[in-house]
Amino acid sequence: MVTWQRGAMLILPLAQWAETPYLVLAYIVRRGLRRVPPGDAAGVAKWRLVSLGAFAGVLVAVGGQLFGMLGYHGPGGFAEVVIMTLAMWMFTIPYLLLWSAGGAALGGALGWGLWWVWSRRR
């Protein structure tokens, strides 16, 4: 158990750690949107739905990991999880990116499916 002050000092570095997949996905979405021709409204709509689904998938993936960390009941509690996660960043960041890539792929597939259904109705 940690105090509120110590918890606040621990949650900020953890939030920065959890921000990494969003930065990678934002870079990928930006590159994808730049490849769409300027007058292609359907292409922009497609990329928006796919990227919205991908961001939602990353939100679920990262949220699940953070919820698991907050609920840890080991000997060091939340402080141990944060310190070990940040100390072993060379293992935890690739794992987080891989886990988030799965969430982004599932969310992006859902977004693409919504776009496909929407484009067929027109």
Entry pTM: 0.84
Overall size of the chain counted in residues? 122
Instruction: Report helix angle 77-87 to 4-18, nearest 10.
Output: 30
The CB density around residue 27, as the number of other CB atoms within 10 Å, is 10
pLDDT in tens, 77-118: 788 888 888 899 999 999 999 999 999 999 999 999 999 998
